[in-house]
Amino acid sequence: MRALHAVLCLACCACAISVASAQDRTSPPTASAADNTRVNERDAQHDTTTPMDQPNNKSDIKLAADVRSAIVKDKSLSTKAHNVKLVASAGTVTLRGPVASADEKAKIAALVTAVPGVTRVDNQLDIAQ
């Protein structure tokens, strides 16, 4: 009885491996590769603000932290929105990166504008396709 059980287990494993292997060879990839060439070219021009431009003084660091906190506290926003890039410099906050929708883009801008110390918002957020 044990021998029959062992043979059946081996046969089932071999069959499962064979099916999984066949699926890997016959299934084309469903997702296309991400193409962010346009964004990379824009960022390479050095005339756009990137996180590397974040000043290192206490007031700008605090403002950036307050803005990030305001964005992350809003649980109605998508993960993309929670992870937008931001740079705070002398009261101006630059926002970059993808968000889920135009409504989300506007909501983030409104949240940032309401943070004490923000005098201007440069909203460069992209709507994810």
One digit per residue, pLDDT tens: the chain, 129 residues? 665 555 445 555 454 455 445 544 544 555 545 555 665 565 666 667 777 777 789 999 999 999 999 999 999 999 999 999 999 999 999 999 999 999 999 999 999 999 999 999 999 999 987
Ordered by start, the domain boundaries in the chain are: 49-127
What is residue 49's predicted lDDT score, i.e. its pLDDT?
73
Give the pTM: 0.65
d(CA 43, CA 37): 10
Distance CA 64, CA 54 (A): 9
Fold annotation for 49-127: Histidine-containing Protein; Chain: A; (3.30.1340)
Report the helix count and the strand count for the chain, using DSSP H and E: 5, 3
